[in-house]
Amino acid sequence: MKILMTVLFTLFAFNTFAQHDHGGDKLVDTAEATTEALEYFKANSNHDDVDDFKGIKAWPVSGGIKVKVYMKTRGDVEYSCHRHSASEPFECHDAK
């Protein structure tokens, strides 16, 4: 849980910084998609998977953001995140 809180704080700080960077749409999108992917992971994973959380990686791709959540002993899960329109929040789905 401490790791998850650290990641969320880092994303908040990153998102705050990115919003002040004019032309940083990819940075803002990556931060927002990462937050949504973590929420999706927590809501759709069992307690053991959430407790096994190790880290996260996110990167922009054509049409959205890919997010990979790593676990210590259980491998990883990858999500594809996108918006349906510019004014809507990100939506994430299992990529595999």
What rounded mean pLDDT belongs to the chain?
84
How does DSSP classify residue 73?
A: S
| Mean pLDDT to the nearest integer, 23-29 | 80
Q: Reply yes or no on whether the pLDDT at 49 is more than 70.
A: yes
- Looking at residue 45, its pLDDT comes to 95
Q: Reply yes or no on whether the pLDDT at 83 is more than 70.
A: yes
Of the candidates 8, 5, 1, the residue with the CA atom closest to the CA atom of residue 52: 1
Q: Could you tell me whether strands 76-82 and 64-71 are parallel, antiparallel, or unpaired per DSSP bridges?
A: antiparallel
In a 13 Å sphere around the CA of 1, the CA atoms on its Cβ side amount to: 1
| Mean pLDDT to the nearest integer, 6-25 | 50
Q: Reply yes or no on whether the pLDDT at 44 is more than 80.
A: yes
